């Protein structure tokens, strides 16, 4: 009976970890001298579920949010709890692309997997110069543009890792504002076509077959997950 109960609890823990995503929401355009608000969520985007901060699992509340300005300068933003998300702000001082990024490793090992969450956001101020600074980060989603896309306009996407040329079992999941999702093979550059306006979440994952110890517990693999919100207009 104890073994059965343990198995059930383990499965629940795995569902909590792997079923959730960490993501950044912010306006995709900004203005010099005007405060830009940034929100960080954890939950089920496709089900419009955003977890209350008090229910964030493991050490997820200990993430760090960084900003890279168009000149390549990197700073850590202070995040404040705000109900079911964390809030941060910054004020652009120059034109160009501002990159927001989180790289967070979960403290617990779930089902033999070490979990590493990444989230990115990009804010364009008048133009996208400096977008290449996104490549300073470990694991990113490259798309065909920063600004909001138009409905029925194809969007090219690629998963890019800073040090790995191949990403085993790579997948891209496109989650729409209406709640539907589509999973695509992301071993190479792919294209999706948004069919409705609103905010989409792009979620890229791959599994690294590496064994080791994490926080004193053995793991068999590393699950990597990166997210990026994209706006689509009519």
Local structure of 61: helix, strand or coil: helix
pLDDT at 18: 58
Average pLDDT, the chain: 91
> What is the rounded average pLDDT of the residues 61-83?
98
> What is the rounded average pLDDT of the residues 89-101?
98
The whole-angstrom separation of Cα 62 and Cα 72 is 25
Q: What is the pLDDT of residues 36-58, one digit of tens each?
A: 999 999 999 988 999 999 999 99
The pLDDT of residue 177 is above 60: yes
Q: How far is CA 92 from CA 32, 78, 167, 189, in A?
A: 5, 16, 34, 31
The pLDDT confidence band at residue 187, using thresholds 50, 70 and 90, is confident
pLDDT at 3: 39
Q: Where are the domains of the chain?
A: 20-233
| CATH among 3.40.640.10, 2.60.40.1930, 3.30.200.20, 3.30.1950.10 for 20-233 | 2.60.40.1930
Percent of the chain with pLDDT over 90: 84
The pLDDT of residue 14 is above 60: no
Strands of 190-192's sheet in order across: 139-143, 155-161, 190-192
């Amino acid at each position: 009976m104890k073994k059965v109960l343990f198995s059930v609890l383990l499965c629940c823990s795995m569902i909590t970890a792997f079923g959730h995503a960490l993501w950044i929401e912010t306006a995709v355009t900004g203005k010099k001298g005007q405060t830009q608000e940034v929100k960080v969520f954890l939950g089920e985007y496709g089900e419009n579920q955003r977890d209350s901060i008090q229910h964030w699992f493991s050490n997820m509340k200990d993430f760090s949010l960084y900003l890279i300005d168009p000149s390549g300068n990197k700073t850590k933003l202070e995040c404040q709890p705000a109900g079911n998300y964390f809030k941060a702000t910054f004020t652009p001082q120059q034109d160009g692309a501002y990159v927001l990024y989180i790289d967070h490793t979960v403290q617990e090992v779930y089902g033999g997997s070490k979990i590493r969450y990444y989230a990115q956001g990009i804010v364009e101020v008048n133009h996208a110069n400096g977008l290449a600074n996104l490549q300073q980060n470990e694991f990113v989603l490259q798309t065909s543009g920063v600004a909001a896309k138009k409905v029925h306009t194809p969007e090219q996407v690629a998963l890019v890792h800073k040090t790995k040329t191949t990403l085993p079992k790579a997948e891209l999941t496109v989650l729409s504002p209406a709640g539907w999702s589509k999973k695509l093979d992301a071993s190479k550059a792919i294209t999706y076509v948004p069919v409705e306006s609103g905010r989409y979440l792009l979620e890229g994952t791959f599994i690294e077959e590496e064994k080791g110890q994490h926080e004193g517990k053995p793991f068999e693999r590393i699950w990597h997950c990166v997210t990026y919100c994209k706006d689509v207009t009519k």
